[in-house]
Chains A and B, each alone.
Chain A
Amino acid sequence: KIELTLLEGNKNTPSLLLNCRGLFLRAVLVICNYLVRRRTEYGFKGLKSIFLIPSNRNSYKKNICIDMLRQGYHKSFSELFSLIEKWNALREAAGPGSAIWQQKSLEEQPDKLDQLYHFLTRAEAAQRAGHYEEVYDNQLNLAYYFNDPEDKWLSNYFHERCFNTAKLITTDIRKREAQAHANMGLIKEEQGHVLKAAEYYETFYHLTVGSTWKDVTGHTYNSLASEYLWRIYTLLADKMLENKEHQQAIKTLKKALKMAKNGRWKITLSHSAETTKRLEEFMKAAENAHLSQSQVDACVLLGNIHNERGSYKEACEYFSQAYETAKTLNNLALVDETKAYCGIAKAHKLMVPFNSHIEAEDLISLKYLLAWKESRSDMCTDPLTVGKTLVMKYISAVLSSTAELSKFNNREKQGENREEKI
């Protein structure tokens, strides 16, 4: 108020001050602006009472937006702005008491705003230069950054942006496009859109056939695609079975099986109880529909899963069921193959008591072992019929080996080697 009275007091006198009025006002403005900014930056309160200036505090969001705009990143600005608006609208729609109501808004989280600023502007600069792979990489960074459950919508949003960008990339023989399809499939699967997910995975599969691209864990993209497709097909079949569409379900399960076989030794099947359940269902369905080939396939897969898990008894059962079914098919190669599987599982089964005798290192156990070695008969398990010679060979190798016993824990590998020998 002081300044104003000063000015008004000089209004009627043609003094120097009147001529300088504009200049003076500017000076006051500059000082005030400076002080206001200082107050916001350093949290210095109390100016309001001195200068009677309303708080013109800029929010962090506003500062970020203005920084983007003045550098010409108008697309980044509108993207950020509409994301914040979208969140607010979602929150309004959910109403008080909802989970989202408790969350902090995006505009109240400077760290997240910083990340958005950084990657959005870089993506926009790359887009202006026509470097779409760089646009994609920046968007993907954002999709990965928002990995909190409450930021899921943001992650999904940026994956979708990546997907659209990937279509424009012409320089990377469609690697990013494949990746984007996989990510979209995962999102759709999570949201329960199984059919849509299957579509994305199928494209992912076709784009990666014959490629050597690997993900961070060393799996090839194509084996991942097989795994995803196997999972989604069994899910689909599940739904079909629920709706009593048996023929459709069998068809889909066959596709799933093809995927599983495709990556049989390359991928580790997800050993969940879920998978086993699916396979058992499938086996039953195949049995009922008299699809012997599918039944054999399912038995072999189930046997493999149990074998890898160490439940050799179950593995034996499934393999011998496969063997029995294969015999009805008049397919000699298949009979041989299943016979070999039976042998492997039985050998594993025998390994358990054998190892325990070795580890026991007592006289009785030693006697048992010696007796067995002499007679070459079955020691303390069920008599071996199929694959007996194989087991003998295996056990002799074990005995003669100087390697430590712990090595035998790695059964999987040896199982594989044996298979090759066969």
Chain B
Amino acid sequence: MATGDKDHHKADWVSIHQQTCQLLIPTRTSLPCPTTERERKRGTEQLLRRQKYIIDAAFSTAQELVWAGKHEEARPAALHALRFSIEVYGSDSLQLLPAYLLLAEACAGAGHLPEASQYLSQAEWIILRTPDCSAAVQHKLHRSLGLFCAAKGDFEKALYHLANDVYLASSTFGLTSIEASGGYFHMADVFFRQNKVDIANSLYTEVTSAWHSFLLKSLQAQQQVPKSRPETSVFTEDREVSEEPLTEAQQVEGIRVLNAILDIREQAPTQQPGETARVLHALAMLHYLLMDVPKARELGLKAFELLKQLPQQESPEPLGYLLALMNVEPSSTK
């Protein structure tokens, strides 16, 4: 850490501390000797709650930084989350897994491969020692290992881990789930780099259709739910995400994955207008769900133009549905 971006570190530490420092003091200082059993119990409970809050805050800060591509800045926050997780859950709890994986991702992204490898080994060790570890957890580990191997340039091993990732995700969430499609996306990337373009293309098609149908379903669900959401209390600590059509992670992943595929489709030597239109349609739906109507309209119209060139229109109804929604949307008073 002796490099020039020490200022960055400082800024990040501050940014995490801004959220956590009031809570940090009581967790670090010893409490005055509690007088009663009940008080002592309450004290420990409060401490635990604060620690968990710190873990959440640090974790989501790190996560957002990683999503933004600021891996170096994400490292301290992720480490923070890990330390508190160890304090709360012990050193070989499954609960440490997300922190280890995030930390590994941040390190690998910042170019610190040996460090990343070390964190991944820790995560692997935890899973190996947990007899009834769920496939949902294992698939995340394999995803991280696969990405790490791909970053190292060890493509065969990367494919092995990503294959495991896809298999486990398919077993847990279903064959066409977006969880499984994440693994496919990274596999496609590896095949692409191996110059196996036909396989990569076939996989990208798979990913696109997974997202396409997922977003279509979300869109339809959103339209069916009457917009009578109760006022969320300012005081509620937990952010209510259950009513959102997409989780934050899904939003970020969707934007990233679909944009990457769109780039590839648009730069391909042989154009497949049908496929490109499908990606555009999916992206338009995503932007619509994220309330970015102008962007959604632009993408939707682009998809529409592409489909018009095709001799036989491939089921343009969902696209027409989306476009109709947007033309109605601005005029209707919300």
Contacts and interface: CB of A to CB of B under 8 A. Distances in A.
Given A26-B117, A54-B132, A56-B128, A70 B159 contact: yes
Contacts of A82: 175
Contacts of A72: 187, 191, 196, 199, 202-203
A264 to B, nearest CB: 45
Contacts of B124: 29
A65 B170 CA distance: 11
Contacts of A21: 118
B129 A54 contact: yes
Interface in B108-135: 114, 117-118, 121-122, 124-125, 128-133
Interface stretch (B8-16, B160-168, B285-293): B160-168
B40 to A, nearest CB: 28
A74 interface: yes
B206 interface: yes
B129 A62 contact: no
B29 to A, nearest CB: 23
Interface in B155-210: 156, 159-160, 162-164, 166-167, 170, 175, 184, 187, 191, 196, 198-199, 202-203, 206
A22 interface: yes
Nearest to B166: A69
A9 B129 CA distance: 20
Size band of the interface chain B makes with A? 20 to 34
A70 B202 contact: no
A66 B132 contact: no
Nearest to A24: B121
Contacts of A67: 163
B129 A74 contact: no
Contacts of B170: 78, 81
B122 A25 contact: yes
A128 B198 contact: yes
B167 A62 contact: yes
A53 interface: yes
Interface string A173-196: 000000000000000000000000
Nearest to B174: A85
A390 to B, nearest CB: 66
Contacts of A68: 163
Contact of B175 (A26, A55, A78): A78
Contacts of A54: 128-133
B118 A22 contact: yes
A75 interface: yes
Given A54-B131, A72-B199, A25 B167 contact: no
A29 B121 contact: yes
B30 to A, nearest CB: 21
A75 B167 contact: no
Interface string A9-30: 0000000000001100110110
A26 B121 contact: yes
A118 B40 CA distance: 65
B202 A69 contact: no
A22 B124 CA distance: 12
A70 B160 contact: yes
A25 B129 CA distance: 13
A74 B128 contact: no
A22 B164 contact: no
A75 B202 contact: yes
B199 A128 contact: yes
Nearest to A72: B199
B125 A25 contact: yes
A371 interface: no
B160 A29 contact: no
Contacts of B167: 62, 65-66, 69, 77
A29 B166 CA distance: 23
A10 to B, nearest CB: 14
Given A22-B118, A54-B132, A74-B184, A81 B175 contact: yes
Given A29-B124, A56-B128, A69 B187 contact: yes
Given A25-B125, A26-B121, A54-B131, A74 B114 contact: no
A399 interface: no
A32 B128 contact: yes
A375 B184 CA distance: 93
Contact of B206 (A53, A62, A74): A74
Contacts of B187: 69, 72, 74
Contact of B114 (A4, A22, A25, A32): A22
A377 B131 CA distance: 98
Contact of A22 (B117, B130, B203): B117
Which residue among B130, B160, B202 has the maximum number of chain A CB atoms within 10 Å of its CB? B202
Contact of B128 (A53, A66, A78): A53
A144 B187 CA distance: 33
19 contacts: A21-B118, A25-B121, A25-B125, A29-B124, A53-B129, A54-B132, A66-B163, A68-B163, A69-B187, A70-B159, A70-B160, A72-B191, A72-B196, A74-B184, A74-B187, A77-B166, A77-B167, A81-B170, A128-B202
Interface of B: 92, 114, 117-118, 121-122, 124-125, 128-133, 156, 159-160, 162-164, 166-167, 170, 175, 184, 187, 191, 196, 198-199, 202-203, 206
Given A28-B125, A128-B199, 8 more contacts: A22-B114, A25-B121, A53-B128, A66-B160, A66-B163, A69-B166, A72-B199, A72-B202
Interface of A: 4, 21-22, 25-26, 28-29, 32, 52-56, 62, 65-70, 72, 74-75, 77-78, 81-82, 128
Which 3 A-B pairs have CB atoms at the shortest separation, nearest pair first? A22-B118, A54-B131, A69-B163
